[in-house]
Amino acid sequence: MEEIRKPFQGVKNIIRFNWHFYAMAIGLVLFLAFVAIIVQDPLRVLLIISAAVVLASTIISLLVSLYIYDLSGLYKFKWIDSLPTDQLILNIHAGFDETSALLQSRFKSAELVAMDFYDSDKHTEVSIKRARAAYPPYPNTKHAKTNALNLPNESVDKIFVLLAAHEIRDEAERVLFFKELARILKPAGLIYVTEHLRDIPNFLAFNLGFFHFYSKSAWLRTFRQANICLQQEIKLTPFLSTFTLHKNGTAP
């Protein structure tokens, strides 16, 4: 079978789509090193330490990304059961889809529908625009609004929202989104939400970038307000949580 995901694809894409951040980091390190040459102690020592911190932070974030997206087995999806009763699987993303083909390969007997809630007015990150230009959408991907998923009530067996839900920055909108997921989910269906959390491991890995994520308590509050229950939390790595969810009152 043809390999869908290439070696080191994750970290390569991070550099490719966010090269401006790494260019700025390298430029800052070089600037600090240059200034350190022409000044005297103790300012020189401070500048050298600052350059080392910026460089180390950048390298650590790339190494952690390599571990998460290329070495951890995240995209093999062996942590999810493939059942013969699965008929319809929904994969929802926010403009960049690198999982639908992988999920279809994992759940061969099911129909997979890909949905994209990307909104160019709300999602202005240049990295998403670069990713959309580099990768064609999955065949027959449907565009959707977060508060209106065009699928019938109780029609979906499994729903995947992988590294995408945090792009819904407004909390009320996130609640409406998860209410929509609950509406279209079958009584015995499951929702899988994978996210970085605003916690210590992600702060150590991504520094101030961890503010782009939400805390576990914030996610649990969203699920509770959407009348969705947490079945379990899967930690494939210290930096990622996958929340397995079901409808309130329909625990397997």
What are the pLDDT digits (tens) for 39-95? 998 999 999 999 999 999 999 999 999 999 999 999 989 888 877 788 999 999 998
179-212: string of b/e by CB count within 10 Å (b at 16+)?
Answer: ebbbbbbbeebbbbbbbbbbeebbeebbeeebee
User: 21-25, 30-34, 116-120: which has the minimum mean pLDDT?
Assistant: 116-120
3-state secondary structure of 192: strand
pLDDT above 80 for 243? yes
What does each C-alpha distance from 37 to 15, 47, 51, 72, 92 come to in angstroms?
29, 9, 12, 41, 51
Task: Tell me which of 133 and 250 has the higher pLDDT.
Answer: 133
pLDDT at 121: 78
Stretch 182-197: mean pLDDT, rounded?
Answer: 96
Q: What Rg do the C-alpha atoms of the chain give, in angstroms?
A: 20
Q: What percent of the chain has pLDDT over 90?
A: 77
pLDDT at 84: 79
Mean residue pLDDT across the chain: 92
3-state secondary structure of 120: coil
pLDDT band with cut points at 50, 70 and 90 for residue 1: very low
pLDDT at 252: 52
pLDDT above 60 for 125? yes
Please, is 41 exposed, middle or buried when counting C-beta atoms within 10 Å of its C-beta (0-12, 13-18, 19+)?
A: exposed
pLDDT at 34: 95
Q: Which region, left, alpha or beta, applies to residue 91 given φ > 0 means left and ψ of -120 to 50 means alpha? A: beta
DSSP 8-state code for residue 239 = T
Q: At what angle do helices 19-38 and 9-17 cross, to 10 degrees?
A: 70
pLDDT at 249: 61
**Contact call for residues 223 and 178 (beta carbons, < 8 A):** yes
